[in-house]
């Protein structure tokens, strides 16, 4: 008989593994059948992504927490309308986008819609075993996030979706309500502005990366 602490740890690891291997589609079907724990698993799976995306839009941690919470409440409410025509993550990020925009409009009624080939950013691999390399990559990752925080709402949003969340341009069009041409143009301009921010405010850090 395993000691209680070891047994509990083993059960927790098994539960975590099972949760990680269940597809979004299966969790959605379980949630729609009345199993609220399934939706809780979806929340757990996407809570960090949703918060980070919300923060890119509203630029304030307290507001981002509110937007994230409201986004999950809306997702739960409208889950029966999810038809699986796009990935669940795309559908959810679209909710975050519209929720964040509504939040910003309440604070500033003058805000309008945000929808008025190239080398990607190198996002560090956090799994490297090399301690010194990990520190260097963490510093680089921190600088990139700080640089993105200097961008406008829509620039930060599209950069985050494309590079950090690896959403395709088709998915970004669905999330942000853009045409393909507009999405490509906005991404190109956002990338140029990010480069300008990095060159202007993080020149020393960039020099160390090379």
Q: Is the pTM here over 0.85, yes or no?
A: no
Q: Residue 147 belongs to a domain with what CATH number?
A: 1.10.10.10
Instruction: Give a yes or no: residue 177 inside a domain.
Output: yes
Q: With helix as H, strand as E and coil as C, how does 104-149 read?
A: HHHHCCCCCCCCCCCCCCCCCCCCCCCHHHHHHHHHHHHHHHHHHH
Integer angstrom CA distances of residue 160 from 19, 80, 117: 26, 28, 17
Average pLDDT of span 71-95:
90
Tokens 């910003």 belong to which residue? 104
Please state, in angstroms and rounded to a whole number, the distance separating the CA atoms of residues 162 and 153.
14
Range of the domain at 61: 25-107
Instruction: Give a yes or no: residue 90 inside a domain.
Output: yes
Q: How does pLDDT run across 94-138, given as a tens digit for each residue?
A: 899 889 888 887 876 554 444 333 333 333 333 433 433 333 445
* 104 closest CA partner among 149, 69, 55: 55
Instruction: Give a yes or no: residue 116 inside a domain.
Output: no
Residues 78, 42, single domain; the answer is yes
Q: How does pLDDT run across 142-197, given as a tens digit for each residue?
A: 677 778 878 887 788 888 888 877 788 998 888 888 899 999 999 999 999 988 88
Q: Residue 72 belongs to a domain with what CATH number?
A: 1.10.1740.10
> Sign of the CA dihedral 95, 101, 106, 112?
negative
The secondary structure of the chain in percent helix, strand, coil, rounded to multiples of 5, reads 75, 0, 25
* 171 closest CA partner among 98, 108, 83, 86: 86
Number of domains in the chain: 2
Average pLDDT of span 86-91:
86
């Amino acid at each position: 008989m395993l000691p209680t602490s070891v047994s509990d740890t083993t059960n927790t690891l098994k539960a975590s593994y099972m949760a990680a291997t269940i597809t979004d589609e299966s969790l959605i079907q379980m949630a729609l059948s009345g199993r609220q724990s399934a939706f809780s698993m979806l929340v757990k799976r996407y809570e960090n992504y949703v918060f980070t995306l919300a923060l890119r839009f509203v630029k304030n941690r307290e507001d981002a927490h509110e937007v994230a919470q409201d986004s999950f409440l809306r997702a739960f409410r409208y889950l029966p309308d999810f038809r699986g025509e796009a990935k669940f993550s795309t559908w959810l990020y679209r909710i975050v986008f519209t929720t964040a925009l509504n939040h910003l409009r309440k604070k500033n009624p003058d805000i309008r819609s945000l929808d008025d080939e190239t080398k990607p950013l190198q996002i560090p691999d956090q799994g490297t075993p090399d301690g010194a390399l990990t520190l260097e990559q963490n510093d680089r990752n921190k600088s990139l996030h700080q640089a993105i925080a200097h961008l406008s709402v829509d620039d930060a949003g599209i950069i985050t979706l494309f590079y950090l969340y690896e959403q395709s341009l088709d998915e970004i069009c669905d999330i942000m309500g853009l045409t393909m041409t507009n999405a490509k143009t906005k991404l190109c301009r956002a990338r140029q502005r990010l480069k300008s921010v990095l060159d202007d405010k993080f020149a020393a850090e960039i020099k160390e990366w090379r």
